[in-house]
Amino acid sequence: IGTECGKTFVSAAVLRAMAAAGRPVLALKPLMSGFDPAKLEDSDAGRLLAAGGRPVTGAAIEDVCWKSFPDWLAPNVAARRHG
């Protein structure tokens, strides 16, 4: 599945529904591209954290996203670009 097709949007909706039902939730975003540390809430990981009721902080993002890249590219392309 490519970029900008709604994966994070749908995942966040599922997280919100599960949290509202009292279910424990945790989302992982192992790789993330287009990440701007100055805009944590706008990142995919930030949106997933917020949907799960967790604070959106740099440390929380590092917990759920193990590698991020600044370029808006497919993660494999961004990874190659950044070595």
- Residues identified as active-site: 29
Instruction: Please list, residue by residue across 43-79, b when 16 or more beta carbons sit within 10 angstroms of its beta carbon and e when fewer do.
Output: bbbbbbbbbbebebeeebbeebbeebbeeebebeebe
CA 16 to mean position of chain CA atoms: 14
Q: Who's near 26: CB < 8 A, 6+ residues apart?
A: 52, 64
